[in-house]
Chains A and B, each alone.
Chain A
Amino acid sequence: MSDDLDDLRAALKAATAPDGEAKARAMRLAMENFARLNDSLQGSTDASRSSEDRTKAAPLNGVRRMFQYLTSRPALAATTSVAALLLGVAVILPVADLRIGKPVVVETNESPVAKKAEPVVEPAVKPEVAATTETVAADVPAGGEGAALTDAATQPGADAAPKPEAKVDASDELARATETDAASSAVVAEPLPEAEAPVLEMAEEALPAAPVEGIIADTELRLRAEAPADAGGVAGYLTAPSVSMPDAMPAPIENTEAYANEAPNPVKVTAEEPVSTFSIDVDTASYAVVRSSLSGGYLPTADQVRIEEMVNYFPYAYAAPEGDAAFASTVSVMPTPWNPGTRLVTIGIQGALPEVTARPPLNLVFLIDTSGSMEDANKLPLLKQSLSLMLSELRPEDQVSIVTYAGSAGLVLPPVKAADRAAIMASLDNLAAGGSTAGAEGLELACQVAEGMKADGEVTRILLATDGDFNVGVSDPDGLEAYVAKKRETGTYLSVLGFGRGNLDDAIMQSLAQNGNGTAAYIDTLSEARKVLVDQLTGALFPIADDVKIQVEWNPATVAEYRLIGYETRALRREDFNNDAVDAGEIGAGTQVTAIYEVTAPGSDALLNDSLRYGQTSAYGDTMGELGFLRLRWKAPGEDVSTLVETPITGTEGASAETRFAAAIAGFGQLLQGSVYLGDWGWDQAIDLAVQNRGEDAFGYRIEAVNLMRLAQSLSAQ
C-alpha cells in the first residue's frame, strides 16, 4: 500500500527544474506589476475596492447556499440538468450568472484572500466571456457595440442583486473597461481557443493603443491581463455555471466500491471430492445491492451477485424445529429447472423462534459512520429514519447507546434505556456528516461501551452503520478483523448495515460481519430498513446457534457430479468442519438459511466430466440408494463445544413451492452472473418459476423479486 504512494511521491519529486528564462521572464513581469501597482496606489482610492465585493456578494449568500445544496445532491441526472440550464443561461446572460454560478465554485477551497481580489479584475474578462459564448461574440464588431451588448446583459444580473449600487458598480466598471480600451475589446471578442497566453499578449498589444490614458489606466489594464492568474477571481465568476459541473459531477460517478466474491463454484466430481463443506451465510446484502443496481437502471456486475445471499433474502416456510431443538433442517430434491439431466438438492434450515416475550434484554450500541461521505440522502438521513423505526420495536428495559466515528470517535449517547426515546431521538437527529473515517477507533470505543452495558443473560450487539469507508486509522485490515474476532469471544456480536452506493466496501463489511458473528445487510430504502431492523429484529439480533457449518458427503453411486450454487465466499476446508476453533456463520432466531446443490446422476447425459476408467465404485450396503449424507455442526450461543446433527439425503424428499421459489432465485442470480450452467433457460422461465411459486408472500418480497427479474430481462436485452 505505501509502496504505491512511494512511487507517486518519487514521481512527484522528480519535478523538472524550472527553466531559467521562464523564471527571469516571470520575475520581470512580477517586478513591473509591482512597480505599476505601487505607483498607482499613491493617491488612488481603488485600494478599498475589495470591500465592494463583500457588499455585492452578501445578498447572494442565499443563492450560494442553494447551489451548494444542489451540487451536493447525489443525483447525476439532477446535476446534469442543472448544468444544462445554467449553460443555457450563460449563453444568453453572461454577466447575470456570473453571480449565480460563482457560489458553486466556492466550495472548491477558495481562500478569502483570493476572493477579495475579484473586483479589480472583474471587468477585464467580461469581453472574454462574450468571446467564448459565441452567440454574443459573433456579432460584436467593435468595442462600442460590445459594450452595449454586455451592458444590456448586465442589467438582469444587477436586478437579481437586491442592492441597487451593485448594479451601478457593475456597469460602471464595465463602462470603464470598455472606454479605456475599445481596441482590446475588439480583439478579445474574437474567439480565443488558446490558453491565457493570448490574453496576456492582448493586454500588451493594447498598451500602445491607449498610452494617453496615463499610468493609472495602464495599471488597471495590466492587472486585468493578469486576471486569469488571479485565484478565485474572474475565471471563477465567469465560468462557474458550466464549469462547476465537472467539479460536481464526478462525485456520483466515482466509484470505489469493492466487492467480496469468488468465481462461481465449479462442478466437482464426486469420486474425486465427495465432501463439500461450507459455513452458512445469513447475509442478505447482495440482494439489496442487486436491487439497487437494477432499480438504478443498470445490471449488477457478476461480483456483486452472491447467490446464497439472494436466496436467503426471502423468508421460507420451512418446518419449524420440534421441542428444544435450536433449528430443523429440511431437505428436498427436485428436477433442476434449467437442466433436465440433473437434480437440485435444497437444504433448508429453520431457526427456532423462541417466545418473543421471553427474549433476554438487549444491549445495542449503534456505531455510526458520520464521515463526510455519509451526507447523501440515502445514507445518514436514511440511517436515522431506519434506526428510529427500530426503536419502536425495542422494549423499555433494552439499552441503547450511540457511538460515532469520523475523524475522531465519540460517544454521542451514553447507554440509556430504550424507554428514553426522546433522548435517543435527539441524539440521532443531531448526527451530522463530516470528517473522515476512523473506523478502528470507533469500533474500539463501541466495544468498550458494549462491555460496560453487559450483564448476565443479556444479549449485547454492536450495529455498525456505514457506507463502507472503514480505512482511516486502520493500518492493517486483517488486524481489524482479528480485533473483531477477539471481541466476538467476549460475547459481543457485531452486525453491519451498509448504506448508499459508490463507496460501498462490501468486502470489509462482509469480513467484519463474518468475523463478528453478525449479519451484513445493505439498506437502500426505508422498506428494506423495516425488513432488516423491524420484521427481522429478533432474528438479526438474537443468535440461537453459533458457528453453523454444513458438510455434505455425496454418494458416488448415485451422484457423479455436484455443484454448490453460491456460498463461494463461505467455503470451508473439509477438516475444519470438526474443528470447533474455526469460525462459521450464525443463525438468528426464526431465520431460514437455504443452500442448493445441483447434482448429476452417474450415466446421465448431463455429466460434464467423463468417468474414470480406473475409478472404483464400491458397494455401500444399506446406504446404496442414498444421494448423500448431511452433517450439521453448531454451537449453542456462548458455548465452545459443537453439536453434530446427521441426516441422510435419500433422494425421495419432495419439493415444495418454497424450494422451487428458492431455485428460481438461484436461477435469477446465475442469470445475472452469466452462468454457463443454465443452457437455454432464460429470464422468461425464471420469471414463470418465481411467479408460480410465490406462495403467500405476505410482505410482497417475492413479487418484488419477480419485478426485478423483469427489469433485469429488459436491461439485459438492451
Chain B
Amino acid sequence: MLMDTPDEMLANAAAGGDRAAFATLVGRHYDRIHGLAWRLTGAKDQAEDLTQDICAALPSKLRNWRGEAKFTTWLYRVVVNAAHDLRRRQQTRSRASQGWGDWELARQDEIAVQAEAQDWLAQAMTQLSPELRDTVALVLGEEMTQAEAGTVLGVSEGTIAWRMSEVKKRLRAMAREDAK
C-alpha cells in the first residue's frame, strides 16, 4: 500500500517520524537523485558521494517539508542546492591552499586538461556556466518543463527560456569551433 501512496503523503508521514514511509520515499527516489546528481556534477564518483550526502541529510531536511510544492520539485531543489554547495566547497578548497593568482592559473590548467580528456558531453557542460548547467540538467536531463525548472531553481520561466536559448547559442559556437 505504501508503494501506491503519493510522494507527498509519504513525505508528510516521514516528517512525522514514520520510518517505513521514509524508507519507501528514499528507495523510490534514490535513482532520481542519483541521476540528477550525475547530470549536475558530470562524474560518477561525485554523483555517488553527493547522493549519499543528500540521503544522509534528508531526514533533517524533511523536517522542513511543508508540502508547499510537489515532493519531486522540493527534492530537485534539495539536490540542486547540494550540488551548488559541492561546487563551492571544491572551489574554496583549492583556493585556500593557493593564492588567488595561483588558483586562477590552476583553474585554467584544469580546464585545459579537462577539455582534452573528457568527452563531448563533459566539454559541452564545462563550457556552460553553473546556472546554464543546472538548467540543462533539469530541462533536458530530467525533461522538466521550463516552468518546473524555474520553480526548482527559483527563477522565472522566462529566465529558463533565456538560459536555454543561451545554451543553444553556446552549443552553436562550440560546433563552429569544432568545425574549424
Interfacial residues, chain A to chain B (CB-CB below 8 A): 1-2, 4-5, 7-9, 11-13, 15-19, 22-23, 25-27, 29-31, 33-38, 41, 47, 50, 83-84, 87, 105, 108-111, 113-114, 116-117, 120, 132-134, 191-193, 195-197, 200, 222-223, 225-233, 235-236, 238-240, 242-243, 246-247, 250-251, 254, 256, 371-373, 406-408, 434-438, 469, 471-472
Which residues from B are CB-within-8-Å of A229? 50, 52-54, 56-57, 82, 85
Secondary structure dominating the interface of A? helix
In the complex, how many angstroms separate the beta carbon of A613 from the nearest chain B beta carbon? 39
What is the bound-complex CA distance between A372 and B64, given in angstroms? Answer: 31
Instruction: For A50, give its contact among B35, B64, B74, B80 (CB under 8 Å).
Output: B64
In the complex, how many angstroms separate the beta carbon of A645 from the nearest chain B beta carbon? 42
Which residues from A are CB-within-8-Å of B63? 37, 47, 117
Residue of B nearest to A194 (CB): B93
Q: Is the CB of A33 within 8 A of B44?
A: no
Q: A256-B170, A407-B156, A471-B165 are in contact. List 11 more A-B contacts (CB 8 A).
A: A1-B172, A4-B172, A8-B167, A12-B140, A15-B35, A16-B44, A27-B55, A34-B58, A113-B77, A231-B77, A437-B165
Residue of B nearest to A195 (CB): B49
Instruction: For B30, give its contact among A18, A114, A239 (CB under 8 Å).
Output: A18
In the complex, how many angstroms separate the beta carbon of B166 from the nearest chain A beta carbon? 7
Residue of A nearest to B88 (CB): A243
Q: Is the CB of A11 within 8 A of B124?
A: yes
Interface presence of B78 (CB below 8 A): yes
What is the bound-complex CA distance between A240 and B89, given in angstroms? Answer: 9
Known A109-B153, A195-B49: A228·B85 in contact at CB below 8 Å: yes
Which residues from B are CB-within-8-Å of A250? 129
Interfacial residues, chain B to chain A (CB-CB below 8 A): 14, 17, 19, 22-23, 26-27, 30-31, 34-35, 38-39, 44, 46, 48-61, 63-66, 74, 77-78, 80-82, 84-86, 88-93, 95-97, 100, 120-121, 124, 129-131, 134, 136-137, 140-141, 153-159, 161-173, 175
Which residues from B are CB-within-8-Å of A227? 57
Which residues from B are CB-within-8-Å of A247? 130
Q: Is the CB of A435 within 8 A of B156?
A: yes
Q: Is the CB of A5 within 8 A of B53?
A: no
Which residues from B are CB-within-8-Å of A1? 168, 172
Residue of B nearest to A105 (CB): B88
Q: Is the CB of B96 within 8 A of A37?
A: no
Which residues from A are CB-within-8-Å of B156? 407, 434-435
Instruction: For B92, give its contact among A5, A27, A111, A239 (CB under 8 Å).
Output: A239
Q: Is the CB of B97 within 8 A of A134?
A: yes
Instruction: For A19, give its contact among B23, B48, B58, B121 (CB under 8 Å).
Output: B48
User: Could you list some 8 contacts between A and B, CB below 8 A?
Assistant: A9-B140, A12-B140, A15-B141, A16-B44, A38-B17, A109-B80, A109-B81, A240-B88
What is the bound-complex CA distance between A33 and B14, given in angstroms? Answer: 12
Most buried by B among A30, A133, A250: A30
Q: Is the CB of B60 within 8 A of A223?
A: yes
Which residues from B are CB-within-8-Å of A47? 63
Q: Is the CB of B141 within 8 A of A256?
A: no
Q: Is the CB of B19 within 8 A of A34?
A: yes
Q: Is the CB of A22 within 8 A of B159?
A: no
Which residues from B are CB-within-8-Å of A134? 96-97
What is the bound-complex CA distance between A449 and B64, given in angstroms? Answer: 50
Residue of B nearest to A84 (CB): B100
Q: Is the CB of B51 within 8 A of A18?
A: yes
What is the bound-complex CA distance between A22 and B50, given in angstroms? Answer: 11
Q: Is the CB of B60 within 8 A of A5?
A: no
What is the bound-complex CA distance between A230 and B54, given in angstroms? Answer: 7
Q: Is the CB of B89 within 8 A of A5?
A: no
Q: Is the CB of A83 within 8 A of B100?
A: yes
In the complex, how many angstroms separate the beta carbon of B152 from the nearest chain A beta carbon? 8
Which residues from B are CB-within-8-Å of A406? 158
Q: Is the CB of B57 within 8 A of A22?
A: no
Q: Is the CB of A246 within 8 A of B59?
A: no
Most buried by A among B56, B63, B130, B170: B56
In the complex, how many angstroms separate the beta carbon of B62 from the nearest chain A beta carbon? 8
Q: Is the CB of B95 within 8 A of A242?
A: yes
Which residues from A are CB-within-8-Å of B140? 5, 8-9, 12-13
Q: Is the CB of A114 within 8 A of B81?
A: yes
Known A35-B19, A113-B65: A197·B49 in contact at CB below 8 Å: yes
Residue of A nearest to B136 (CB): A8
Q: Is the CB of B56 within 8 A of A29?
A: yes
Which residues from A are CB-within-8-Å of B27? 27
In the complex, how many angstroms separate the beta carbon of B130 from the nearest chain A beta carbon? 7
Known A18-B51, A34-B19, A87-B100: A471·B169 in contact at CB below 8 Å: yes
Instruction: For A472, give its contact among B30, B65, B165, B171 (CB under 8 Å).
Output: B165
Q: Is the CB of A114 within 8 A of B51?
A: no
Which residues from B are CB-within-8-Å of A9? 140-141
Q: Which 4 A-B pairs have the closest CB atoms?
A: A229-B53, A436-B162, A231-B81, A407-B158
Q: Is the CB of B52 within 8 A of A15?
A: no
Q: Is the CB of B52 within 8 A of A25?
A: yes
Most buried by B among A11, A26, A132, A195: A26
